[in-house]
Structure formats: C-alpha cells, structure tokens
Amino acid sequence: MPHINLLSWREASRKEAQKQFLSILFLVTLISFGSVFAISMVYGEMKDGQIKRNQFLTAEISILDKRIAQIKELDKKKDNLQQRMRLIEELQSNRNLGTQIMDEIATVVSSGVYLTKLERRDNAIQIIGKSESNNRLSRMLRHLENSYLFQDATLKDIIAGEQQARLLSDFNMQFTVKPYEKIGEVKQ
C-alpha cells in the first residue's frame, strides 16, 4: 500500500470543509443581520411609542396651560368683584357715617363741655369749644379713646378765660374716624 494516492480525498475533504465554513459563515452573518434588524425594529417601535407619548403629554400640557390661564383670569375677575364688594360695603357703611359720628360725639361729650364748632375733613374731625374744667376735658378724651368710632384724640390747646369772672376755658381738640375695617371688627 505504499502507493495509494490520498490527494484527491484530501482535496474533496478540504472543499467539503470550506463549504461547511462558508455555509456556517453565511448562516452566522444572516443571523447577525436578522438580530440587528429585529433589535433596530424593536427600538424603533419603542422610540415611536415614546414620541407619541411625548406628543400626547405636550398636547395635554398645552390644554392645562390654557386652563391655568383661564383660572388666573377668573381669579383676577374674582379679586375685582371682591374689591367692588368691599367698596360697596364701605360706601354703604359711610352712608350713615355722618349720623354715627354725631351720635357718638353726643355720647362722648361730657357735661360741662360745650361745642362751638365741629369741622370734618375726610377722616379728621376738629372740635372747638368751651369747658367748665380741665377734668371734664380729660374725661372727654378718655371717652374718645374708648370709642368704637374714633381714634388718635389729641387736645391741641386750652386757653383759660381772660377775665376772672369768666369760668369757661376755650379748647381745640382733634381726632380721626377709624377706618371701615376697624369699625366692623369692633362692632362684631
């Protein structure tokens, strides 16, 4: 057997191995491309889904922004209405303010104190009058400070009578009417 030619068998075996290698290589390449394609399709679908969700959220956010703008507009209208209501309430209470001032002055003026002039400018009231004694004026000041309607009472000056026979002293007093909010708090 020394003269057996195995060259053709080896060559056939080599061609068979080469065919197997090429088929395996083709199969691996095909599987790789298929898996890359499948992965890119999955990620593409995920990306498209996320884009759709983002668009939905953007649309909902714009709707909510419009509602927030409407709510802010309604809040402005509400504030305007409340301000108008407060103004109407204040005007309504001020309608009787002159009567209330006169009534309260009648209660705080002590006996022996006589008013000769009462002048009101906005919320400031000035009283000029005559008094039998300083004690009666101080009692009137205490009544003004405890009043639900008046505040900041100050006695500007007291002028004693010029003649010995004259017993009355001239005085000048000033005080202010409390703001509407404070009057409402005290009355309640």
CATH number at residue 171: 3.30.1360.10
| Mean pLDDT, residues 128-134 taken together | 87
Is 103 in the same domain as 150? no
Residue 74, pLDDT above cutoff 90: yes
Residue 111, pLDDT above cutoff 60: yes
Evaluate whether residue 170 is within a structural domain: yes
Q: 80, 108, 136: which is the final residue of a domain?
A: 108
Residue 55, pLDDT above cutoff 80: yes
pLDDT in tens, 4-47: 666 777 888 889 999 999 999 999 999 999 999 999 999 999 99
Min mean pLDDT across 82-86, 104-108, 133-137, 161-165 is at 161-165
Share of residues in the chain with pLDDT > 70 (%): 89
Residue 49, pLDDT above cutoff 50: yes
Pairing, β 169-177 against β 150-159 = antiparallel
| Mean pLDDT for all residues in the chain | 86
**Number of domains the chain is built from:** 2
Is 135 in the same domain as 152? yes
Share of residues in the chain with pLDDT > 90 (%): 41
- What integer pLDDT is reported at residue 166 of this predicted model? 62
Evaluate whether residue 187 is within a structural domain: no
Which residues lie across from 48 on neighbouring strands? Answer: none
Q: How far is CA 152 from CA 82, 122, 141, 174, 184, in A?
A: 30, 15, 10, 8, 18
Is 9 in the same domain as 71? yes
Is 7 in the same domain as 74? yes
pLDDT band at 184 (very low <50, low <70, confident <90, very high): low
Is 35 in the same domain as 125? no
Let me know how many helices (H) and strands (E) the chain has, helices first: 4, 4
Contacts of 105 (CB under 8 A, 6+ apart): 115, 118, 127
| Mean pLDDT, residues 74-95 taken together | 88
Residue 127, pLDDT above cutoff 60: yes
Evaluate whether residue 44 is within a structural domain: yes
Contacts of 89 (CB under 8 A, 6+ apart): 180
Of 136 and 58, more confident: 58
Is 104 in the same domain as 133? no
* Domain extent for 61: 1-108
Evaluate whether residue 147 is within a structural domain: yes
Evaluate whether residue 188 is within a structural domain: no
Evaluate whether residue 66 is within a structural domain: yes
Is 92 in the same domain as 130? no
Pairing, β 113-121 against β 150-159 = unpaired
Is 175 in the same domain as 87? no
Evaluate whether residue 27 is within a structural domain: yes
Q: 88, 108, 128: which is the final residue of a domain?
A: 108
Amino acid present at 84: R
Is 82 in the same domain as 118? no
Is 69 in the same domain as 92? yes
